Amino acid sequence: MFSKTCEYAVRAVIYIAQTSKHDEKVSIKEIAKGIDAPEHFIGKILQDLGKKGLIQSLKGPKGGFYLDASSRKYSLADVVKAVDGDKIFYGCGLGLSQCSEAQPCPLHHEFKKIRNDIHRILKKAKLGEFNDQLEQHLAFLRR
Amino acid sequence: MFSKTCEYAVRAVIYIAQTSKHDEKVSIKEIAKGIDAPEHFIGKILQDLGKKGLIQSLKGPKGGFYLDASSRKYSLADVVKAVDGDKIFYGCGLGLSQCSEAQPCPLHHEFKKIRNDIHRILKKAKLGEFNDQLEQHLAFLRR
DNA sequence: AAAATAAAAGATAAATTTGTCTTTTATTGA
DNA sequence: TCAATAAAAGACAAATTTATCTTTTATTTT
Ligand code: FES
Ligand code: FES
């Protein structure tokens, strides 16, 4: 469905959202442990998301990653798009160069529905809404 | 969604299903042109599907790939599973080592539904049912 | 000002996926 | 039996993804 990079990115962003509520910042090391991902690798990924303005970071002691008010309005769809592009939302499921209503692949109508579902769900998942599920052990980001 | 290999595999199998109705066989070359894929690469892919019994082939002049009666009963889900495995049907969408109802990722309930939809659609798409959509220009496998 | 901390940046490497080329084997038909 | 055809098989190569390691830069605390 998503690339490994994208899976890490989504899990990391959710982790940041959940643990950085009160302007606290989270270090790469803690994120890596929290989502069970290679430290340097998610460092790179978060660096990219930072450049694109999806998340914030600060260097130095007491530094780390966090989300500001505007970032909390972004959705997981924005994260996925930033990492994997929007092929998953708009591309042909059978890999044709572009999805087309006029020249549909044999599964076009079915795929279209699924793609829309995926898009809808991810657009609805705003970063600000991942509050304290984790702490309450209602959701998990590692296993 | 699927790997490139899997996209080629599905398109190729549909192509074979559509063009080999009357025990006619289709050559790699024709398939490659028909679905716009690299010839030798789909050769490999189809070789694998053949070993797994999903499709049939015969060497020599008048040889090529075709589907026998039992292969026509397979579904695209079988093809996808043979190429990409069943992670797309059962795996966690956020990449946790396994999807779990007891320890769900934050999107578990949503992903579960989507995965089931994908599985349902592909299971329903039996190879024998791709008859002559292609000829009638109702569906397309290249662009 | 100096030391410590943590992300940014850059270089490199491993692994996997995707793609190509060549040789071999099976089948057909002349 | 021989030549032609087409898949099978194997070796190899390019590209991309995933991952690691080192150095630099910014920030804080002492
Ligand atoms: S053409 Fe394949 S999904 Fe639309
Ligand atoms: S735990 Fe992630 S999809 Fe079920």
A126: CATH: 1.10.10.10
Q: Which of A97, A107, A143 lies closest to B100 in CB terms?
A: A143
Which residues have a Cβ under 8 Å from the Cβ of A100 and sit 6 or more positions away? A92, A108, B140, B143
Q: Which ligand has its closest atom nearest to the C-alpha of B1?
A: 1
Q: Is residue B49 part of a domain?
A: yes
Q: A83 CB near a chain B CB, below 8 Å?
A: no
Q: Is residue B142 part of a domain?
A: no
For residues B110-124, give the mean pLDDT: 98
Q: Is residue B143 part of a domain?
A: no
Mean per-residue pLDDT over chain B, rounded: 94
Q: Is residue A109 part of a domain?
A: yes
Can you give the pLDDT at residue B22? 76
Six-digit token string for A40: 């340097």
Can you give the pLDDT at residue A20? 76
Can you give the pLDDT at residue B137? 62
Q: Is residue A81 part of a domain?
A: yes
Whether the beta carbon of B8 falls within 7 A of nucleic chain D: the reply is: no
Domain that holds residue A110: 4-135
The rounded Cα A72 to chain-centroid distance in angstroms is: 12
**Per-residue exposure over A4-20, b if at least 16 CB sit within 10 Å of its own CB, e if not:** ebbbbbbbbbbbbbbbb
**Residue of A96, A111, A137 best to disrupt the B interface, most CBs of B under 10 A:** A96
A93/B117 touch (CB, cutoff 8 Å), yes or no? no
Q: Is residue B128 part of a domain?
A: yes
Can you give the pLDDT at residue A23? 78
For nucleotide D5, give the residue with the nearest CA to its C1'. Answer: B61
- Assign B131 a pLDDT band (cuts: 50, 70, 90): confident
Q: B119 CB near a chain A CB, below 8 Å?
A: no
Q: Is residue A130 part of a domain?
A: yes
Distance between CA atoms of A131 and A135, rounded to whole angstroms? 9
DSSP 8-state symbol, A75: B
Query: A32, A1, A108, A82: which is closest to B110 by C-alpha?
Result: A1
Using CA atoms, how far residue B87 sits from A20, A28, A83, A122, B112, in Å, is: 32, 28, 21, 20, 12
Number of domains in chain B: 1
Whether the beta carbon of A59 falls within 7 A of nucleic chain D: the reply is: yes
Are A139 and B104 within 8 A, CB to CB? Answer: yes
Q: Is residue B29 part of a domain?
A: yes
Using CA atoms, how far residue A28 sits from A36, A37, A43, A56, B114, in Å, is: 11, 10, 6, 13, 31
Query: A17, A16, A26, A35: which is closest to A58 by C-alpha?
Result: A26
For nucleotide D21, give the residue with the nearest CA to its C1'. Answer: A40
Using CA atoms, how far residue A118 sits from A51, B31, B123, in Å, is: 25, 32, 20
> What percent of chain B shows pLDDT beyond 70?
95
pTM for this prediction: 0.95
Give the model confidence (pLDDT) of B11-47 as tens digits: 999 999 998 777 789 999 999 999 999 999 999 999 9
Query: B66, B85, B80: which is closest to B128 by C-alpha?
Result: B66
Residue type, A78: D
Running along chain A, 143 residues long, what does each successive block of 10 average in pLDDT?
98 93 90 97 98 97 96 97 98 97 96 98 95 68 91
